[in-house]
Structure 1
Amino acid sequence: MRVTVFHNSNSKSLRTAADLESKLKQQNFELVEANPEIVITIGGDGTLLSAFHKYAHMLDRVRFVGVHTGHLGFYTDWRDYELDELVASLRRDDNEQVISYPLLDVGVRYAGDNAMNHYLALNESTLKRVSATMVADVYIRDELFESFRGDGLCVSTPTGSTAYNKSIGGAVLHPRLEAIQLAEIASINNRVFRTLSAPIIIAKDEWIDLYPDPQGKDDYVMTVDRFVPKKRPITAIRYRIAKQRIAFAGYRHTNFWNRVEDAFIGEKQRE
């Protein structure tokens, strides 16, 4: 089995990665950087996000395993003190144990470019305006839904619903739901301007188009997860469920609602 160990620069992660690589070599795993079958991330959810974007071009043939060196993450199932158990699980692996999650396809048309540029998001994509109110028309399945005014808009995946989406009032979705969610960021609602002012869940056969006001085209910033792909004037963005999915090795996978409970409620709150 070809394995990549992908880690952040935290000292604990560096020690854990070195320890894991040593254990993998002892068990005759092939450690590679290119064309892996398994990508093991050491750190937290941010580290796994970085690994996802590095290997997004080969999602049909790679699976991910997350080892967290801090508190429990939404994509990390193993702790740094469980490396022996992890290696043993890899040795027993039969390439059929997979948990997969939906991804967000982000299609962007830039000014002066007729081609659609595509990006994949594991968590979310946002559109904001830097120095003024953002104005954008929102279409759902080619029908005008609303004209938005506010700080910005966020479109998230089910797993990403627990991240930035939740902090701006979005709903938490189970990842078995093949849906995407649109949430407003500080929308303006008064006698003149009205928006729904509530999260919208979009079915898998629908899509969302955003058309930012061209007067502010040089001032819009689009993010894909935590990255800014290109700083160019944007004329349109289309969001829909991606054909690709992210696959996790499924022999050890924490129940989604247990993750939510641990991250946001915790045992102390239940006492």
Structure 2
Amino acid sequence: MAVRNKIFFFYKKEERTLEKIQSLLSLAITEGFEVVEDEKEANIIASIGGDGTFLQAVRKTGFRDDCLYVGVSTLENEFYCDFHIDDQAGMIEAMKNEQVEVRKYPALSVNIDGQGSFFCLNECSLRSSIIRTLEIDVFIDDLYFETFRGDGMIISTPTGSTAYNKSVSGAVVDPMLACYQISELASLNNNHYRTLGSSFILSDNRKMTLKIKHDNSHYPIIGMDNEAMSIKHCETLHFELTSKRIKTVKLKDNSFWHKVKRSFL
């Protein structure tokens, strides 16, 4: 097994955290890691911040599945960050005493108009950009399923199920399940328009297609994780859970359900 000791630190250059980050860099060097300036040379990518920073780190470094991602939090109760920047001694102790493990999170693939695929670790969201409903035909594999009319839709991974998806009453999904979830944003359900009216979950063997009906709709805002895409026109979006897995370093005694309980109960 190749030795992983080339580490790249991803962080926002904010004055209040720079001193702590310099201390962390020094600690990494002391413990035998090589700190690199180019993320392409790294086999460990350490994100310093919160869950949003972690998502940006994965996106900006290309959703690499050949390296380990480590989340170091400057906040509290983050889902992707098992380590805290103020407990550097605890990080070293966990590493040396084998209190960590590698967990693999699936990435969602979104292909827009057949022009190429984008990846999401949390969710892809389609939202109305003006005060007007979207009308979208929903296909599961080759089956026409429904026509949605409302403010938009959220397509989330299991790890993203506790984020935007949960705020619209979507289910919290165990990340050990290979699946993705579709949740509605303010759907119209009356004598003229009818949708399932609840979130539903598809396995990793299912593909979903959304076709935007522009006779009654406008182009939506498309969000990938915490970043809005600069796409002004789109007709069709294809979704599937890919075989790409994002490897993260986690504490053994800090499972997804530990975090759910700590964050919401």
TM-score, normalisation: structure 2: 0.90
CA gap of 1:218–1:168, structure 2 versus 1, over 3 A, is same
Question: C-alpha separation between the residues in 2 aligned to 1:6 and 1:84?
Answer: 20
CA gap of 1:252–1:43, structure 2 versus 1, over 3 A, is farther
Q: Aligned residue for 1:190? A: 190
Which deviates more from structure 2 when the two are superposed, residues 154-163 or residues 22-31? 22-31
Q: Aligned residue for 2:106? A: 102
CA gap of 1:217–1:187, structure 2 versus 1, over 3 A, is closer
Q: Deviations over 1:139-173 (max 9, x none)?
A: 11111111000000000000000000000110000
Q: Secondary structure at the match of 2:80?
A: coil
For the 8 Å contact 1:13–1:42, the answer to whether it is kept is no
Structure 1 gap ranges (5+): 110-114, 266-271
For the 8 Å contact 1:89–1:251, the answer to whether it is kept is yes
Q: Secondary structure at the match of 2:23?
A: helix
Q: Secondary structure at the match of 2:110?
A: strand
How far 1:97 sits from its partner (Å)?
4.2
How far 1:214 sits from its partner (Å)?
2.4
For the 8 Å contact 1:180–1:201, the answer to whether it is kept is yes
How far 1:228 sits from its partner (Å)?
2.2
Q: Deviations over 1:51-95 (max 9, x none)?
A: 0101225x22111111111111000001122213324555678xx
Question: C-alpha separation between the residues in 2 aligned to 1:178 and 1:230?
Answer: 29
Letter in 2 for 1:128: R
Q: Aligned residue for 1:24? A: 28
CA gap of 1:92–1:61, structure 2 versus 1, over 3 A, is farther
What's the RMSD between the two structures over aligned residues? 2.0
Q: Aligned residue for 2:135? A: 135
Q: Which is richer in helix?
A: 1
Q: Aligned residue for 1:112? A: none
For the 8 Å contact 1:77–1:253, the answer to whether it is kept is no
2:65 aligned residue (60, 64, 67): 60
For the 8 Å contact 2:82–2:250, the answer to whether it is kept is no
**Is it true that 1:204 corresponds to 2:208 in the alignment?**
no
CA gap of 1:206–1:149, structure 2 versus 1, over 3 A, is same
Identity %: 32
Question: C-alpha separation between the residues in 1 aligned to 2:168 and 2:17?
Answer: 31
Q: Aligned residue for 2:257? A: 257
Q: Secondary structure at the match of 2:194?
A: coil
Structure 2 gap ranges (5+): none
Q: Secondary structure at the match of 1:148?
A: strand
Letter in 2 for 1:263: S
Q: Aligned residue for 1:156? A: 156
CA gap of 1:239–1:154, structure 2 versus 1, over 3 A, is same
For the 8 Å contact 1:218–1:232, the answer to whether it is kept is no
For the 8 Å contact 2:138–2:147, the answer to whether it is kept is yes
Q: Aligned residue for 1:40? A: 46
Equivalent runs, 1:77-116 vs 2, <5 Å? 77-87=82-92, 89=94, 97-109=101-113, 115-116=114-115
Q: Aligned residue for 2:226? A: 226
2:55 aligned residue (43, 46, 49): 49
How far 1:261 sits from its partner (Å)?
0.8
Question: C-alpha separation between the residues in 2 aligned to 1:263 and 1:254?
Answer: 13
Question: C-alpha separation between the residues in 1 aligned to 2:164 and 2:126?
Answer: 13
How far 1:203 sits from its partner (Å)?
1.1
For the 8 Å contact 1:7–1:13, the answer to whether it is kept is no
CA gap of 1:217–1:107, structure 2 versus 1, over 3 A, is farther
Which deviates more from structure 2 when the two are superposed, residues 241-250 or residues 25-34? 25-34
How far 1:219 sits from its partner (Å)?
2.8
Count of residue pairs the alignment pairs up: 257
